[in-house]
Amino acid sequence: MAQASNLGFPRIGERRELKKATEAYWAGQLEREALLATGAELRSANWNKQRAAGIDVIPSNDFSFYDGMLDMACLLGNVPARFDWDGANAGIDVAFSMARGTDSAIACEMTKWFDTNYHYLVPEFSAETSFKLAASKIFDEFVEARDQGIHTRPVLIGPATYLSLGKVTDHSGLDKFSLAGALTDVYVDVLERLAELGADWVQIDEPIGALDLTDTQRAVIETAYARLAAVSGIKIMLASYFGELRDNTALFLGLPVAGLHVDAVRGRDEAAALAAGIGDRRTLSLGLVDGRNIWKTDLGAAREILAACQAHVTSERLQIAPSCSLLHSPVTLRHETQLAHGLCDWLAFAEEKLAEIVFLARAADGVVDNAVAADNQRAMHHRARSTLIHNDLVQRRVAALTAADYRRRSAYPERARQQQAKLKLAALPTTTIGSFPQTQTVRQTRAGHKKGRVSDADYDAFLAAEIDTAVAMQEDMGFDMLVHGEFERNDMVEYFGEQLEGYAFTKLGWVQSYGSRYVKPPIIYGDVSRPTAMTVKWSKYAQSRTRKPMKGMLTGPVTMVQWAFVRDDQPRADTVKQVALAIRDEICDLEKAGLAAIQCDEAAFREGLPLRRSDWPAYLDWATAAFRLAAGGVADSTQIHTHMCYSEFNDIIEAIAAMDADCISIETSRSQMELLDAFAAFAYPNEIGPGVYDIHSPRVPSVDEMVELLEKAINVLPVARLWVNPDCGLKTRGWAEVKPALENMIEAAGRIRARYVSAA
Ligand code: GLN
Ligand code: ZN
């Protein structure tokens, strides 16, 4: 019989129980025992949900109080020296100190888990690194489930992925892959211990199978699995996900493991070939249900892939699974009663995906639940034809686009001339990235208005007063280009999504972003359009309060799509075009309303990069085109800004230039302007505002520091095209630090002007 299997279930709870408990624990309001009890309840509920749904292979150790990579670091005793770990059991308090930092030790770095919006804690290696079995979580949770009558398959992140995603933090010149042998020793211990406890299978995740691998990484994989597969009494289900195996296929098929899991959603085209190659002794786990999106599986289409694989694999050696852990899906649809009529019928969150997995596993054995199949087909049919999705006007507009729509009227030099004539900006103009501190009052008033406790009139008066204060402050400080402060916005995607057709918002559709931070991504379910202006009212008001130029403030099309659950019935490139047109309309309306500069933030531009290099050009093509489409409707004299809050541009600088924004502001202060090298080496042709004020910390940078950073910038970029601004928006900061920091920034700009500009 084919088995219904799962790779991981969301641990946050239906109502964010995990967040509430961990944050209460951190705040000292909840005892450790109570926190542990909440964890145990969530695990038990999840195991029982999976069992009740008919899942045969249920994971354990997929739970975490913070992050699975962090748990691996604890299991492996890979705790950086600065945390003063006593070398005994590395339990949750050690994990929390690594994740959050302590008075004396800064937290471990966090970064994105492949191309998801989940973040993991980056393992740290140094010349001192050694490994040993140091935590009992994986064993405890296996036993805990066993005591509840549930036999689980424990989950681990594999040694090759662990090493590949970690970084060397000292200057020893250590080759981290040289640690593979010592690391594998501990994995051997873990497997032996699990076998002793009665585990017959273990799931080892190696999502780097979806990446371009170096020869070193390949060698690490080969050597590690030769050893791990030799541990007796326990079988390995090696899981690759998040993409196709492509040129890693032979490597993975050649490993002596007992089972291989593959992503048959993103890798649907490879699935049959993998099934043909797996031989007649190993188990194939087919990830047929998308673990990281929210759409119902087209069960008919999934059965076709399944059938193609079944030509090669008997059902005794077949498991049906989600493509990856369901961690990246919201928990359940049961509470989403407010969603637009019909929409719920098209969706499947983690719980609903379990039922799909079970259906497909039974179907593999020829037991087809016809009622489920018919209902699924009806839903697919309904969705494909629904008027909720299709908007003729939008489709006709996209079809009618021509090359000219993707271009500004003139090239940058001519635009710059016209913009300068209109804006008359000083050299090294000063500005900010958009948001000002979202104080308690701002957030409370906005929430009160949303709930109806604050009237429209009172809310408007409140926002107007906030803007007045912000404008007056910027004028007093001497800013050259002002912003209105974004007090009306909760989130840079939600604010726009709520005003666009084709976007829906769930009530409890949370997914973990990192630690206790969860996000509720909007769902782009249909053709996107903009019924009415979204930002004009407040931008126009703000401009009316000053003679200085006010910057309109928008989120760009790529970011609007990247931070959402995106429809799967058309290419992303098509969806992003529709969003770009909606933003284009907004930009044009802002221009009409008298805004001479408009910033279109693309915070997620880089994150959208595909996992494989060879897929980059196609992405960069449509992503830059979308930005140009959004910005292409305005006159030459209107200045288009963009903003990106990260610092790696080396490999995408041409695409950044191809966006053709008049000015780009970027994060640079933490890297000491190093990243500017990319802009200098490439001779970036337009204006650029390298951040000189690190907004990620409450520390107020001194004038001297910022002068120094600006001097570094001047060494590599022409003064005439430089701006002065912070790294990012200021919404997470408090006024107490923002005011002096901005004052210092203005003074730094003044000193630099005196030094370089008059001399030039
Ligand atoms: N304009 C936004 C802000 O200032 C930009 C935020 C971002 O880039 N993440 O908050
Ligand atoms: Zn930013």
Question: How many alpha carbons fall within 13 Å on the CB side of residue 476?
Answer: 10
Q: Using 50, 70 and 90 to split pLDDT, how confident is the model at 341? A: confident
Q: Please write the tens of the pLDDT for every residue from 420-464.
A: 999 999 999 999 999 999 999 999 999 999 999 999 999 999 999
Cβ atoms of residues 558 and 608 within 8 Å = yes
With contact defined as beta carbons under 8 Å apart, do 738 and 437 qualify?
yes
Catalogue the active-site residues: 696
Q: Is residue 731 within 6 Å of ligand 1 at its C-beta?
A: yes
How does the average pLDDT of the chain come out, rounded? 96
pLDDT at 620 over 50: yes
Paired strand residues for 347 = 295
Nearest C-alpha to atom 8 of ligand 1 is from which residue? 603
635 and 591 Cβ atoms separated by less than 8 Å: yes
Q: Which residues pair with 260 in a beta bridge?
A: 238, 284
Beta carbons of 511 and 460 less than 8 angstroms apart = no
Q: Relative to the alpha carbon of 669, which ligand is closest?
A: 2
Mean pLDDT value of segment 43-53 = 98
Protein residue with its CA nearest to atom 6 in ligand 1: 729
- 96-107 in b/e form (b: 16+ CB < 10 A) is bbbbeeeeeeee
3-state helix, strand, coil in the chain (%, to 5): 45, 15, 40
Instruction: Assign 265 a pLDDT band (cuts: 50, 70, 90).
Output: very high
Three-class secondary structure of residue 667 per DSSP? coil
Phi, then psi, of 259 in degrees rounded to 5: -155, 155
How high is the pLDDT of residue 141? 98
- Using CA atoms, how far apart are residues 148 and 550, in angstroms rounded to an integer? 62
Which ligand 1 atom is at minimum distance from the Cα of 433? 4
Q: How far is CA 757 from CA 600, 655, 688, 712, 721, in A?
A: 29, 30, 17, 15, 12
Number of the ligand 1 atom closest to the C-alpha atom of 553: 1
Structure-token match 């008075």, residue found:
103
Among 3.20.20.210, 3.40.50.300, 3.30.360.10, 3.30.160.270, name the CATH number for the domain at 3-15+53-385. Answer: 3.20.20.210
Which is the closest atom of ligand 1 to the Cα of 435?
Answer: 4
How far is 279 from 268, CA to CA, in rounded Å? 19
Ligand 1 atom nearest residue 555's Cα: 1
Where b means 16+ CB within 10 Å and e means fewer, 587-608 reads bbbbbebebbbbbbbbbbbbeb
Q: Cβ–Cβ contacts within 10 Å for residue 385, how many?
A: 10
Ligand 1 atom with least separation from CA of 643:
8
Residue-wise pLDDT for 671-710, tens only, equals: 777 778 888 899 999 999 999 999 988 899 999 999 999 9
Q: Which of 634, 661, 682 is nearest to 412 (CA)?
A: 661
CA distance 411 to 660: 9
C-alpha distances (whole Å) from 282 to each of 219, 223, 249, 258, 315 are: 22, 19, 15, 5, 11
For CA atoms 748, 749, 753, 756, give the dihedral sign: positive
* Alpha carbons 105 and 293: distance in angstroms, whole number: 37
Tokens of 95: 């994990």
Q: Is the pLDDT of residue 414 over 70?
A: yes
pLDDT at 757: 81
Residue that has been written with the tokens 């990106």 in this structure = 644
Distance 728 CA to ligand 1 centre (A): 6
- Over 80: is that where the pLDDT of 670 sits? no
Residues 730 and 439: beta-carbon distance below 8 Å: no
The per-residue pLDDT for 760 is 46
Q: Is 144 in the pocket of ligand 1 (CB under 6 A)?
A: no
Kindly give the distance from the C-alpha atom of residue 612 to the centroid of ligand 2, in angstroms, as a whole number.
25
In whole angstroms, what is the distance from residue 51 CA to residue 120 CA? 28
| CATH code, 414-499+534-757 | 3.20.20.210
**Beta carbon of 643 within 6 Å of any ligand 1 atom:** yes
- Condensed to tens digits (0 to 9), the pLDDT of residues 65-118 reads 999 999 999 999 999 999 999 999 999 999 999 999 999 998 999 999 999 999
Topology agreement, domain 3-15+53-385 and domain 414-499+534-757: yes
* DSSP code of residue 67: -
Ligand nearest to the CA of 599: 1
Q: How far is CA 496 from CA 382, 392, 469, 502, 631, in A?
A: 27, 22, 24, 11, 17
Ligand nearest to the CA of 667: 2
Does residue 327 have a pLDDT over 70? yes
3-class DSSP assignment, residue 619: helix
- pTM recorded for the entire structure: 0.94
Cα 554 to ligand 1 centroid, rounded to whole Å = 9
Q: What is the pLDDT of residue 281?
A: 93
Please work out, in degrees rounded to the nearest 5, the angle formed at the alpha carbon of residue 394 by the alpha carbons of 388 and 396: 125
**Span 258-285, average pLDDT:** 97
> What average pLDDT does range 637-652 have in this prediction?
91
Task: Let me know: does 532 contact 499? Beta carbons within 8 Å.
Answer: yes
Q: What is the mean pLDDT of residues 349-358?
A: 98
pLDDT at site 268: 97
Q: For 568-599, what is each residue's pLDDT tens digit?
A: 999 999 999 999 999 999 999 999 999 999 99
The CB of 492 under 6 Å from ligand 1? The reply is yes
Report whether pLDDT(498) > 50.
yes
Whether ligand 1 lies within 6 angstroms of the CB of 600 is answered as: no
Which residue from 710, 665, 663 is spatially nearest to 433, judged by alpha carbons? 665
Q: Are 336 and 14 contacting, i.e. CB atoms less than 8 angstroms apart?
A: no
Residue of the nearest CA to atom 1 in ligand 1? 434
Contact of 216 with 246, CB cutoff 8 Å = no
Provide the terminal-to-terminal Cα distance of the chain, rounded to the nearest Å: 79
Question: Which of 432, 433, 494, 695 has the most ligand 1 atoms within 8 A of CB, as the residue to mutate?
Answer: 433
Residue 758 has a pLDDT of 65
Residue 642's DSSP bridge partners are 600, 664
What lies within 8 Å, CB to CB, of 645 at 6+ separation is 433, 603, 666, 667, 727, 728
**Distance between CA 231 and CA 456 in Å, rounded?**
67
Average pLDDT over residues 131-142: 98
Of 9, 710, 657, 602, whose CA–CA distance to 322 is shortest? 9
Query: What is the amino acid identity at position 447?
Result: A
Is 666's C-beta closer than 6 angstroms to any atom of ligand 1?
no
Q: Extract the tokens encoding 283.
A: 């188990």
Q: Which residues pair with 565 in a beta bridge?
A: 523
Determine if ligand 1 sits within 6 Å of the CB of residue 727: no
Q: Whose CA is nearest to atom 10 of ligand 1?
A: 729
Cα of 730 vs centre of ligand 2, distance in Å, is: 9
Measured in Å, residue 603 CA sits from the centre of ligand 2 at: 6
Q: How large is the average pLDDT for residues 542-570?
A: 97
User: What is the mean predicted confidence (pLDDT) over 210-228?
Assistant: 98
**Ligand having the closest approach to the CA of 600:** 1
| Cα(613)–Cα(615) distance, integer angstroms | 5
pLDDT, residue 410, reads 98
Q: Which band of pLDDT confidence, cut at 50, 70 and 90, is reported for residue 122?
A: very high
Closest ligand 1 atom to residue 645 Cα is 8
pLDDT of residue 589: 98
Which residues touch 389 (CB under 8 Å, ≥6 apart)?
383, 502, 525, 526, 527, 567, 569
Q: Which of 243, 209, 88, 75 is nearest to 154 (CA)?
A: 75
pLDDT of residue 317: 97
| C-beta separation of 554 from 493 below 8 A | no
Handedness of CA 139, 143, 145, 146 (dihedral sign): positive
Closest C-alpha to ligand 1, atom 3: 729
Distance of CA 689 to the CA centre of its chain: 25
- Give the closest ligand to the alpha carbon of residue 598: 1
CB 159 within 8 A of CB 146: no
What percent of the chain is predicted at pLDDT more than 70? Answer: 100
Question: Ligand 1: does its nearest atom lie under 6 Å from the Cβ of 559?
Answer: no
Of 494, 476, 483, 485, residue with least CA distance to 438: 485
Residue nearest (by alpha carbon) to ligand 1 atom 5 = 729
The residues, any chain, with a CB within 8 Å of residue 307's CB and separated by 6 or more, are none
**Domain map (residue ranges) of the chain:** 3-15+53-385, 414-499+534-757
